[in-house]
Amino acid sequence: MRRLTYFIAASIDGFIGAPDGEAEFFTRFVDEEYFAYLKEEFPETLPTHGRQALGLDHLENRRFDTVIQGRASYELALDIDVTSPYAHLRQYVASRSRPIPPWRSSARI
């Protein structure tokens, strides 16, 4: 049996995005020490396009092999022309409202 681990960036009041849905507001809290920790312990939690831009795409996955994200989170990537935000992981998109087009590299659940 596989282990399920819930790993998420969330504000202290439990939100995973800004009130307007924007997700980049968390990045302003990532200092050098925390970034070094992420690189060492959880490199797979960094999106593929970010890993590539930072020269970290050579890092192996240490703890996770699959990501499940909501449709709204997935669409944030699509809005910047990233069709496979976690290409280094198996990707699933949870949606109750819209199907994910089959040409995109994530499966809908």
Structure confidence at residue 42 (pLDDT): 93
pLDDT digits (tens, 9 = 90+) for 32-85: 999 999 999 999 999 999 999 999 989 999 999 999 988 888 888 888 889 889
Quickly count: other Cβ atoms within 10 Å of residue 46's Cβ.
20
- Provide the CA 44 distance to its chain's centre, in angstroms: 9
Instruction: Residue 84: name the closest of 99, 101, 97 by CA.
Output: 101
Structure confidence at residue 20 (pLDDT): 77
* Global pTM value: 0.77
Distances 109 to 14, 22, 69 between C-alpha atoms, Å: 23, 23, 10
